[in-house]
Structure 1
Amino acid sequence: MTLSTEDLLPSTRRALLHRMAVGQSEGRVPSIVGGVRRDGRLVWSGARGDIAADAPEADHQFRIGSITKTFTAVLVLRLRDEGLLDLDDPLEKHLPGTGVGTVTIRQLLGHTAGLAAETPSPWWERTPGALRPELADVLGERPRPHRPGHRHHYSNPGYTLLGSLIEAVRGASWSDVLRREVLEPLGLHRTSPQPQAPHADGWAVHPWADVILPEPAEDLGLMAPAGQLWSTVSDLGRFASFLAEGDDRVLGAASLAEMRLPAAPMDGDEEGTYGLGLQIVRKEGRTLVGHTGSLPGFLAALWLSVEDDMAAVVLANATSGVAIGDLAADLVRIVAEAEPRIPRPWRPLPEAEADPELLALTGAWYWGTRSYGLTLVRGRGVELRPLHGSGRGARFVARPDGTWTGLDGYYTGEILRVVRRADGSVSHLDVGSFVFTREPYDSQAGVPGGVDADGWRGIGL
């Protein structure tokens, strides 16, 4: 039986529209638009609100605030992948004179550099960027209130530094580099630093009365890499697909998977963790990655569930009122529960990957007395998982030297290698120095500490 991708069921579409309508009505938002992308295409979009002549559509621009940071992070990872910098380089190596000391590029990406959350007064989101023409104006006299690397502390100025880093390495403005290296290759023609019609206007809604006030839409200047962009549901849906699958013209799948890994725990009053330019949250048993954003007059959320091959985007033109991150998460949940993802057909490995030596490594292995199973995955990778209960399982990607590097869990970044005897036969697996043997405590496999010569025994009566 061949299964085709079809539109959502009418009941699912109504549930999505109902959730959006409740969010707009109870949140008292002038207008709101959302969309769900699945299997590489926009399968639903809907909008509520009629403050303008027409309700917004999936192609209407809204300001997306801190979702801009994810675009900036993609540009930094591109520089790393081109060998122009290392994420563990001190920022000063490539952008001297900032005054932030030894903070690294990785710490800036993950908000662990210890920098202040905001710029010095006046409130940067509601004032022209021209008031802060230099990095010193953005960082202020006390740019680093926390020790680098010791805690997660969200920092908007930190992404200003990353934008300036991109400009220094590329020799072009952040906006030009973004357009040339990300927006144009991905076809995000409705994403831009300045609004393009049709676009929503930003509003503040009075907390105690149903009246509204227009919000200013300032050019953020040096702060642009932290929150300048305008975009649409359609464009952000395409961007979400890129974050899940990668595009070698922009950034490969392996680097995007690295961005989705936790870089540091959040503060105690925050939810989830943070990767490299991506927020990571758990909602009702589902892991979502993406970002939320806000600027005066606008709220935005993009959540991606890699497991469900689905993303949701919600954009609103209000300063506050609706928990937009929760709303976007609910759109993912509604579709995932009502119409679960149909698994792709199982297919055998390509013939070139059916290597007899690799096949000989599959099956049961033991770490001490704990049983694990080793399986092959595409790309000559392997997966090591406990056969019973929970434990330190991980996926490993193949390296050119015949070893593997851990991709997730306890063994992230650790090396798995096959240890052979003088005759070429396999003695054991070494995983980050732990010995995995074919039999529990195999006496012939060089288990550290040795194995009792009398072997396994029962208790005498």
Structure 2
Amino acid sequence: MTTSQEELLPATRRALLHRIAVAQTDGRAPSLVAAVVRGGRTVWHGARTSVDGHGPDENVQYRVGSITKTFTAVLVLRLRDEGLLDLGDALEKHLPGTGVGEVTIRDLLAHTGGLAAESPAPWWERTPGTLRPEIADVLGEEPFRHPVGQRFHYSNPGYTLLGALVEEVRGEPWEDVLRREVLEPLGLRRTDVRPSAPHAGGWAVHPWADVMMPEPAEDLGRMAPAGQLWSTTGDLARFAAFLAKGDDRVLCAQSLHEMRTPTAPSEAANVADGYAYGLGLEIRRHGGRLLTGHSGSLPGFLAGLQFSVEDDVAAVVLANCTSGPPVATVAADLVGIVAEAEPRIPEPWRPLREADAVALDLAGPWYWGTQGCAVRLTADGLASLEPLTGNGRRSRFRPNGDGTWTGLEGYYAGEVLRAVRRPDGSIDHLDLGSFTFTRQPYDAGAEVPGGVDPQGWRGIG
């Protein structure tokens, strides 16, 4: 991926620099480095540092903490897409003997398995992984905090289990699988489980004095799939572009859409903040914009990756301090700066290559009772159903090849839309999950459940 600073307007570049400069100064970070991606390419890189004459570039490694979880989730989805497991499978089916085998793979990906947030003491992020050589050491004697599948509760041990699952199914270490199946195909040559020069050192900044001390950089051992990776803004920019659009060598766009689809609801406070979790990805509202990505932290480091599919913009922010700038928020702000200053120019409208006469019968206005909606056929081969006015249920539908369509999102996700035809081939009504849609409100000539009053429409008198 080439880096082109000139693709953004000077005012936009200055606004981006200003945002990270404020973050580094106010957050008292020894260094902070950022990158912005638009249209799948890195279009801006910036850095601020406390060391004169030494600004980290896009090749300097920082520890990225829980962004590692997104990499692990990609590996698990690959196994699913190959037919080697199902996300609804109990963990015990593929990784027996853990003691928490009733938890499903989907539960672990979504943090709904009820497992503890952390492994037993001592603090795993600041102690060698050799203290937890086995899964039992990671889970402890009381691994559960909540009933399985009933609530979102972020769990680092849960992703340790997913890493062990990858190792069991593939028959080789998690880091080897990750390197071969994700890092190498995507060209992430500066992403690894261990640092290599040039890399930043991790620092703790005193909360009440402008002094620092170095943080230890431990090998996390069994906990590696939850937070071990080191990476760069250059590599994470490429990874963000992949997460937004997919790459069939690694994971298709449909599976990535599944990863960024919210699963179980979060706590009320998180819902109010516009936060949800998919499968290895966080989803949040920021400035009226829907963003997906992940944050990360380990002693000495903070990391944030955010992207907007709608705006086709992503941002990565890395800092080398234990606490300080809110890097996930800064990344979200960078996305917003570019999206608002230089809105995405849509692709030219193009018609369908070939119109399906049967499908064309579905197009146009329909009525569910008295509520008006419309079916529209789009150039991507899908059909959309949306209200004619105001709010209402809406969804896109994919064709099944037999004249029926399956909903892709919203209330109608997974529901089947079919045209019920008269003997002469004309459409009597549409059936969508038992709902009847007619060409006129309560069309007297159609099969409307409950029938239509024979006196028809009339006034109040």
- Which category describes the TM-score, using the shorter chain as reference length? over 0.9
Question: Is the 8 Å Cα contact of residues 384 and 395 (structure 2) preserved in structure 1?
Answer: yes
Which position in structure 1 is the counterpart of 2:264?
264
State the alpha-carbon separation in 2 of the partners of residues 401 and 236 from structure 1.
42
Query: Hey, which bits of structure 1, 4+ residues long, moved more than 4 A?
Result: none
Which position in structure 2 is the counterpart of 1:244?
244
3-state SS of paired residue (1:106): helix
Which position in structure 1 is the counterpart of 2:372?
371
Q: Which moved more, 1:354-363 or 1:451-460?
A: 451-460
Alignment CA distance shift 1:140-1:52 (3 Å): farther
Please state how far the C-alpha of 1:368 moved relative to its aligned partner: 0.8
Which position in structure 1 is the counterpart of 2:85?
85
What TM-score, normalized to structure 2? 0.96
Please state how far the C-alpha of 1:75 moved relative to its aligned partner: 0.8
1:356 equivalent in alignment to 2:357:
yes
Question: Is the 8 Å Cα contact of residues 418 and 430 (structure 1) preserved in structure 2?
Answer: yes
Please state how far the C-alpha of 1:399 moved relative to its aligned partner: 2.2
Q: Deviations over 1:406-456 (max 9, x none)?
A: 222112222222222343322222222211111111233322222222222
State the alpha-carbon separation in 2 of the partners of residues 269 and 30 from structure 1.
32
Amino acid at match of 1:97: G
Question: Is the 8 Å Cα contact of residues 104 and 113 (structure 1) preserved in structure 2?
Answer: yes
Structure 1 residue corresponding to 2:302, chosen from 296, 299, 302? 299
Please state how far the C-alpha of 1:165 moved relative to its aligned partner: 0.8
Which position in structure 1 is the counterpart of 2:235?
235
Question: Is the 8 Å Cα contact of residues 379 and 398 (structure 1) preserved in structure 2?
Answer: no
Q: Which moved more, 1:437-446 or 1:210-219?
A: 437-446
Structure 2 residue corresponding to 1:317, chosen from 314, 317, 320? 320
3-state SS of paired residue (1:65): coil
Q: Deviations over 1:172-203 (max 9, x none)?
A: 11111111111111111111111121111100
1:454 equivalent in alignment to 2:439:
no
Which position in structure 1 is the counterpart of 2:43?
43
1:403-422 aligned at under 5 Å gives the runs: 403-422=404-423
1:216-235 aligned at under 5 Å gives the runs: 216-235=216-235
Q: Deviations over 1:351-398 (max 9, x none)?
A: 3xx111112211101111101111112442111000100011011122
1:36-435 aligned at under 5 Å gives the runs: 36-51=36-51, 54-270=54-270, 271=273, 272-351=275-354, 354-435=355-436
Q: Which moved more, 1:402-411 or 1:139-148?
A: 402-411
5+ residue gaps, structure 1: none
Question: Is the 8 Å Cα contact of residues 24 and 31 (structure 1) preserved in structure 2?
Answer: yes
Amino acid at match of 1:212: M
What TM-score, normalized to structure 1? 0.96
Question: Is the 8 Å Cα contact of residues 405 and 416 (structure 1) preserved in structure 2?
Answer: yes
Amino acid at match of 1:432: G
State the alpha-carbon separation in 1 of the partners of residues 446 and 66 from structure 2.
53
3-state SS of paired residue (2:47): strand
State the alpha-carbon separation in 1 of the partners of residues 299 and 71 from structure 2.
20
State the alpha-carbon separation in 1 of the partners of residues 346 and 59 from structure 2.
31
3-state SS of paired residue (1:265): coil
Report the count of equivalent residues. Answer: 455
Please state how far the C-alpha of 1:53 moved relative to its aligned partner: 6.5
State the alpha-carbon separation in 1 of the partners of residues 70 and 29 from structure 2.
25
Which position in structure 2 is the counterpart of 1:445?
446
Question: Is the 8 Å Cα contact of residues 383 and 394 (structure 1) preserved in structure 2?
Answer: yes
Amino acid at match of 1:158: G
3-state SS of paired residue (2:66): helix
Amino acid at match of 1:310: V
Percent identity between the two aligned chains: 69
Alignment CA distance shift 1:170-1:364 (3 Å): same
State the alpha-carbon separation in 1 of the partners of residues 7 and 312 from structure 2.
15
3-state SS of paired residue (2:42): strand
State the alpha-carbon separation in 2 of the partners of residues 60 and 138 from structure 1.
31
Please state how far the C-alpha of 1:268 moved relative to its aligned partner: 3.4
3-state SS of paired residue (2:284): strand
State the alpha-carbon separation in 2 of the partners of residues 413 and 96 from structure 1.
32
5+ residue gaps, structure 2: none
Amino acid at match of 1:393: R
State the alpha-carbon separation in 1 of the partners of residues 140 and 8 from structure 2.
51
Question: Is the 8 Å Cα contact of residues 110 and 277 (structure 2) preserved in structure 1?
Answer: yes
Amino acid at match of 1:267: E
State the alpha-carbon separation in 2 of the partners of residues 315 and 371 from structure 1.
49
Question: Is the 8 Å Cα contact of residues 350 and 379 (structure 2) preserved in structure 1?
Answer: no
Superposition RMSD on alpha carbons, in Å? Answer: 1.6
Alignment CA distance shift 1:221-1:144 (3 Å): same
Please state how far the C-alpha of 1:6 moved relative to its aligned partner: 5.7
Please state how far the C-alpha of 1:402 moved relative to its aligned partner: 3.3
